[in-house]
């Protein structure tokens, strides 16, 4: 019996069974996770992102951040390559610039509010550089994923929002 268990055929059968279980139980999102999210946003596990000015956080998965990155690439990258702001290079998507805006845009709720109704940096008037993102265009979850991507990139991605973006 032991001899049969350790035969090549037996080992191949066990290997095939293990692989079948791994494939059947692996997360479906793994194929949809952008490598940038793993490498530069360091999001192999869900990561906390600030939701509000009180410091409350919510966990965003690598899949959530990948969706946010895809939405950023579809809608924002023309003006914000690497977190820079081409229409106004003096204001980037760096964490310090997001914090310095009026009102600050350094948490999910604040950045979502900005995306829903974009205002110039000092908050005194609407801006025509950024498009308004109504819920008919992006759902609340999608716009939060987009905001989480921007904030996580501002926190973790080397060179994000600086002249040294690689």
Tell me the residue range of the domain where 139 lies: 28-156
Q: Is 50 helix (H, G, I), strand (E, B) or coil?
A: strand
**What is the arithmetic mean of pLDDT over 101-128?**
95
**Residue 128, pLDDT score:** 84
Taking only the tens place, the pLDDT of each residue in 23-81 is 333 444 445 899 999 999 999 999 999 999 999 999 999 999 999 999 999 999 999 99
Residue 161 lies in a domain: no
Residue 23 lies in a domain: no
Residue 51 lies in a domain: yes
| Domains: count for the chain | 1
| Overall pTM surpassing 0.85 (yes/no) | no
Burial class for 54, CB neighbours closer than 10 Å (0-12, 13-18, 19+):
exposed
User: Residue 125: which CATH number?
Assistant: 1.10.760.10
Residue 59 lies in a domain: yes
Residue 80 lies in a domain: yes
């Amino acid at each position: 019996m032991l001899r049969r268990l350790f035969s090549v055929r037996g080992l191949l059968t066990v290997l095939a069974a293990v692989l079948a279980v791994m494939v059947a139980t692996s997360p479906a999102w793994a194929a949809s996770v952008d490598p940038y999210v793993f490498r530069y946003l360091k999001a192999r596990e869900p990561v906390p992102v600030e939701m509000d000015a009180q410091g409350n956080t919510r966990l965003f998965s690598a899949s959530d951040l990948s969706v946010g990155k895809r939405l950023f690439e579809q809608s924002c990258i023309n003006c914000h390559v690497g977190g820079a702001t081409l229409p106004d290079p003096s204001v980037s998507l760096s964490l310090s610039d997001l914090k310095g805006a009026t009102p600050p845009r350094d948490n999910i709720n604040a950045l979502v509010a900005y995306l829903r109704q974009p205002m110039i940096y000092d908050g005194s008037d609407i801006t025509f550089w950024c498009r308004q993102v109504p819920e008919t265009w992006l759902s609340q979850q999608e716009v939060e994923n987009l905001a989480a991507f921007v904030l996580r990139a501002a926190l973790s991605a080397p060179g994000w929002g600086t002249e040294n973006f690689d």
